[in-house]
Amino acid sequence: MPVSDQKLYLLDYGAGNVRSLLNAVEKLGHRIEYIKTVEDFAKADKIIFPGVGAFGYAMRALNNSGFAEPLKAYIASGRPLMGICVGMQVLFEGSDESPAEPGLGIFEGRVELFDKKLKSVPHMGWNAAQVVHQENVLATAVPEIGEDSRYYFVHSYAVPYTGTGAQRGIVHSATRYVDQAVVSSVWSRNVFATQFHPEKSGPAGLALLRSFIEHDLVRPQSSAGELRMPGDIESALTVRVIACLDVRANDQGDLVVTKGDQYNVRESADKGGDVRNLGKPVDLAKRYYDEGADEIAFLNITSFRNLPFRDTPMLEVLRQASRSIFVPLTIGGGVRDSVDPDGEHVWPAVQVAGEYFRSGADKVSIGSDAVYAAEGYWQRKAEGLVPLDGSTAIEQIAERYGRQAVVISVDPRRVYVSSPEDASGHHVIRTAFPGPNGEQYCWYQCTVKGGREGRDTDVRQLVTACEALGAGEILLNCMDKDGTNSGYDIELISDTKAAVSIPVIASSGAGRPEHFSEAVEKTAVEAVLAAGIFHRREVPIVAVKKHMQEQGISIRSAEDGV
């Protein structure tokens, strides 16, 4: 059948960002329709089944919509299916994430949780998918999956790779995360599925999507032969370089990218006192994608409280950006319970997040409300109550969309003290950078409202509470370092890394390529972020990656398909 005549459908059960997949398909010159009814399965020539979030939520949604059995019948008919992330996991018998919810049972095996004692969880970032077939036609049957390419992974649960038993007939590639090899793609007859996200994997991922859409990815009738053993799968996880864009309305009402010095985004009085304008959000984001940024973060620093939420400009920014940017997008600012100006429409935070996801975001960043949630968590513990009561935005978003979708943005500042006893019970470090009066100790005070208000909560209290509540990543800023170009706060990053088992992004203070490598080498941080030096082209992303590669740090380079 000519590609132009085939009917391509998307199976969306209502979780996470599918707009990026729609945009990727359109970018490749094809059209795709939603499966809306059971009858649509019979119309489909090919189906793409993306999934984000919790295994149990996905299976309940499939069963409640009446789609589970028609999906199994579609697979049995021999027509091609491509599953993505949770869309791959539900093809197995079940998951430790939701033990009471059986999977579709297309493949033998279960999905298991990574061991948090040995690594940061979720597995988040760019990694290789290594074909497990050795001397066989299958080894090169999908040339778009190659060991020189990197793909974007974000998951806490995975199918362990054994290379034996039933896996010999279905596993196509495996990936190592620290000490554990896991299945990264399966291929059985007409079913091809990936644990990684092709639609977020840049040119390499787009090439794989094109292969599924334009060719018949039916597994050749050939013996699987011998597979690589788990010990043969090498680790190839890269450190992420993230470009951050602070977005707000200027005095003329235009949406611009700006950057502050220690959170002040206005020019000096002798320059007019206007909001610094460093460019248009979508244009800058596209530039960073082209330059090789591994992720892009939009931080909305304007409230827009006078607008109905659906009219918030950031939603349109995401829609526009996701049309041409195929790496993960994070949106921060305004992810809280809100009410439209008419007072009639109430938006719970989980619905706010849902609108951002449907507009093209992959993750949401929570700032001030995370501090309030952490304070409530510790208060409930002190009162002998259950600390996790499901009332916070963190819990609700993580339950529906998965913990990998929730980023906690931390805005701390140093408070110097002469001795630990002077810190009122807060977690204290001995610093190599004494305070103004020679103080040898400090604690990091969390702030809210864009750094304008300090709270009686330290960073360690915040990040440990938020991890318990369900957050999947920490974006670690530092008010003292912001805009200084003097390097990251290594003491803060090291102390935070020691407190949590979820990934940490280093932010604030980078001024030259050496600062990025220093943060990675001294703290083992999973990602490094910068803003102003990228906006002003003082330090290009390419220069940062080149330097990191020269220092022996694994990065996604131009040769990886950027």
pLDDT at 239: 97
Q: Is the pLDDT at 274 greater than 90, yes or no?
A: no
Mean pLDDT of 229-236: 90
Q: Which helix (H) or strand (E) holds 382?
A: helix 368-382
> Three-state DSSP class for 347?
strand
**459-469 helix and 393-401 helix, angle to the nearest 10 degrees:** 40
Q: What contacts 298, CB < 8 A, 6 or more positions away? A: 245, 247, 281, 285, 314, 317, 318, 321, 329, 330, 331, 332
Q: How far apart are CA 321 and CA 478, in angstroms?
A: 27
Phi, psi values for residue 382, rounded to 5°: -65, -30
Predicted confidence band of residue 275 (pLDDT cuts 50, 70, 90): low
- Who wins on pLDDT, 280 or 62? 62
pLDDT at 309: 67
Is 244 annotated in a binding site? The answer is: no
Q: Is the pLDDT at 490 greater than 90, yes or no?
A: yes
pLDDT at 248: 75
Q: Is the pLDDT at 278 greater than 70, yes or no?
A: no
Cα dihedral angle (198, 200, 204, 206), rounded to 10 degrees? Answer: 70
pLDDT at 305: 54
Is 16 annotated in a binding site? The answer is: no
415, 426, 454 from 419: Cα distances, Å? 12, 11, 21
> Three-state DSSP class for 69?
helix
| Residues 28 and 66: beta-carbon distance below 8 Å | no
Report the percent of the chain where pLDDT is more than 90: 71
Q: Nearest-CA neighbor of 407 among 205, 154, 86?
A: 154
Report the percent of the chain where pLDDT is more than 70: 87
Secondary structure of the chain: what % helix, strand, coil (to 5)?
Answer: 35, 25, 45
Report the range out of 116-125, 132-141, 148-157 with the highest average pLDDT. 148-157
What 8-state DSSP symbol labels residue 119?
A: S
Q: Is the pLDDT at 252 greater than 70, yes or no?
A: no
Q: Is the pLDDT at 336 greater than 70, yes or no?
A: yes
- Distance between start and end Cα atoms, the chain: 32
> Three-state DSSP class for 355?
helix
pLDDT digits (tens, 9 = 90+) for 168-204: 889 999 999 988 999 999 999 999 999 999 999 999 9
504 - beta bridge partners?
Answer: 474
> Can you spell out the DSSP letters for 257-301?
EE--BTTB-BPPGGGT-PBP----HHHHHHHHHHHT-SEEEEEE-
Predicted confidence band of residue 562 (pLDDT cuts 50, 70, 90): very low
pLDDT digits (tens, 9 = 90+) for 301-322: 765 555 556 667 888 899 999 9
pLDDT at 16: 66
Q: Nearest-CA neighbor of 129 among 167, 181, 88, 166?
A: 181
Burial class (CB in 10 A: 0-12, 13-18, 19+), 175: buried
Phi, psi values for residue 430, rounded to 5°: -85, 125
Mean pLDDT of 367-379: 97
Predicted confidence band of residue 149 (pLDDT cuts 50, 70, 90): confident
Amino acid identity for residue 500 in this structure: V
Mean pLDDT of 231-237: 91
Amino acid identity for residue 483 in this structure: G
> Residue for token digits 């001397």?
135
What 8-state DSSP symbol labels residue 54?
A: -
Q: Nearest-CA neighbor of 478 among 491, 461, 463?
A: 491
Q: Is the pLDDT at 556 greater than 80, yes or no?
A: yes
Phi, psi values for residue 514, rounded to 5°: -60, -25
pLDDT digits (tens, 9 = 90+) for 98-135: 999 999 999 999 999 998 776 789 999 999 999 888 65
Predicted confidence band of residue 146 (pLDDT cuts 50, 70, 90): low
158 - beta bridge partners?
Answer: 112
Q: How far apart are CA 174 and CA 364, in angstroms?
A: 29
Q: Which residues are catalytic?
A: 85, 197, 199, 246, 411
pLDDT at 1: 56
Q: How far apart are CA 20 and CA 26, in angstroms?
A: 10
Q: Which helix (H) or strand (E) holds 70?
A: helix 68-76
pLDDT at 263: 47
Predicted confidence band of residue 89 (pLDDT cuts 50, 70, 90): very high
pLDDT at 561: 43
pLDDT at 115: 82
97, 355, 474 from 467: Cα distances, Å? 17, 24, 9
133 - beta bridge partners?
Answer: 227
pLDDT at 267: 47
Q: What contacts 257, CB < 8 A, 6 or more positions away? A: 245, 246, 247, 277, 278, 279, 280, 281, 284, 535
> Residue for token digits 């787009």?
206
Q: How far apart are CA 164 and CA 117, in angstroms?
A: 26
Q: How far apart are CA 193 and CA 320, in angstroms?
A: 28
Taking phi over 0 as left and psi of -120 to 50 as alpha, with beta for the rest, 329 belongs to: beta
Average pLDDT, the chain: 89
